[in-house]
Chain A
């Protein structure tokens, strides 16, 4: 039988190549953000309104951008905000955080600081106890300092 070392070596090397390619991270796009939102809301419609999303229009550094989300709600057992979800358009992954609330909250208002990889739009989705979903969005311009230390 003829021995074909070059072909065998090529196939072995080719098998190794697939491992390297899979590691490359994908950037989020508006499409992957919509997929992430679908994963949370399912087939229910998302209506713009009721949610107030507070973000600075311009941030001096994308490492820590203050964010506050609130909804007007009596927060009773019968009618309250169940959850607040935040997504971004252009970060490496679209999910930012999910807050779980309920009647014990008293107020539907949460704050945190988020990372924004670039100038982009942020979306907050409020999930109510009646199963409805509401949304608000805000655009943030992200700038950087003039002099940076190398990481």
Chain B
């Protein structure tokens, strides 16, 4: 019944700006779909393998780097204070770049401009550790993406990607995650796909990974061409996903199957 209503609702409201988004009160994290054992793995900071990355990030935060010989701590002090809520508000508009940037991009901007050190490679151990450490400081805080005239075009671009059919299966992200969440695909329950816990420890990867890695996974699974790491399209999509998850609480570093 709910499925039929959703399909009819989507058809009737096709083309309307925010009609397809899941209402705030109905937003559910993929956490709720996991077995009690996997949830327990996430909840226990002494058992969560993602915490190894957070600890490493904490060490890197205090390490001086680059020609400027500065550490993150030299400018930002104690991350528990200065980074509180930051991951829950990103991607955020960067005036210098004229577009929204992700936490990873912000970290690398600081590396290059403030520390005068080389940028950290996508999915590198150090970049994941620092972004895990920053994301951890937003744990329990609600996601809220500021939208204004500057971010709107990028939000629209992200939503267009979300709704565009692509790949050999001619599927759009929304076909599964808006229209059929809660139903099963090949034995797994389809989540609503909210990025509340990134970077996260995916059991499939046997290591911590970023949202960009997960999005590329999805695209490969859909038999579509995955965007390259660092492609602005992935950041536009992240912006839209975070806005779509507004009000949900951050739980990085999460654990997911």
Direct A–B contact in complex, judged by CB atoms less than 8 Å apart: yes
Interface residues of A (CB under 8 A from B): 56, 58-61, 63-66, 113, 143-150
Residues of B within 8 A of A (CB): 34-38, 40-41, 49, 185-188, 190, 203-206, 213, 216-218, 220-222, 257
Given contacts A147-B221, A149-B220, list 5 more A-B pairs with CB under 8 A: A60-B38, A143-B187, A144-B204, A146-B185, A146-B186
The CA-CA distance from A66 to B257 in the complex, in Å, is 13
Residues of A within 8 A of B222 (CB): 147
Residue from A56, A63, A147 with most neighbouring chain B CB atoms (10 Å): A147
Contact B40 A66 (CB under 8 A): yes
B203 touches A56 (CB 8 A): no
Distance (whole angstroms) from the CB of B121 to the closest CB of chain A: 18
Q: Is the CB of A146 within 8 A of B40?
A: no
Which 4 pairs of residues, A with B, have the shortest CB-CB distance?
A: A147-B221, A60-B257, A61-B203, A149-B217
A66 touches B41 (CB 8 A): yes
**Minimal beta-carbon separation of B45 from chain A (angstroms):** 16
* B188, A63: Cβ atoms closer than 8 Å: no
Question: Does B35 lie within 8 Å of A56, measured CB to CB?
Answer: yes
Q: A146-B185, A147-B221 are contacts. A61–B204 as well, Cβ < 8 Å?
A: yes
Closest to A67 in B: B37
C-alpha gap A63/B222 in the complex (Å): 23
Tell me how far the C-beta of A69 lies from the nearest C-beta in chain B, rounded to whole angstroms: 15
CB-CB < 8 A to A148: which residues of B? 204, 217, 221
> Whole-angstrom distance from the CB of B177 to the nearest CB of chain A?
11
Q: Are B217 and A64 in contact (CB under 8 A)?
A: no
A147 and B35 contacting across the interface, CB-CB below 8 Å: no
Q: Give the Cβ gap from B243 to chain A, nearest Cβ, in Å.
A: 23
Residues A146 and B35 in contact in the complex (CB < 8 Å), given A60-B257, A63-B206: no
Q: Which residues of A contact B38 (CB under 8 A)?
A: 60
Q: Which residue of A lies closest to B187 (CB)?
A: A143
Residues of chain B with a CB closer than 8 A to A56's CB? 35-37
Do A149 and B216 have beta carbons less than 8 Å apart? yes
Write the nearest CB–CB distance from B29 to chain A, whole angstroms. Answer: 15
B203 adjacent to A146 (CB under 8 Å): no
Inside 8 A of B34's CB, which chain A residues have their CB? 60
Nearest to B201 among chain A residues (CB) is A64
- A79 to B206 alpha-carbon distance, docked (Å): 39
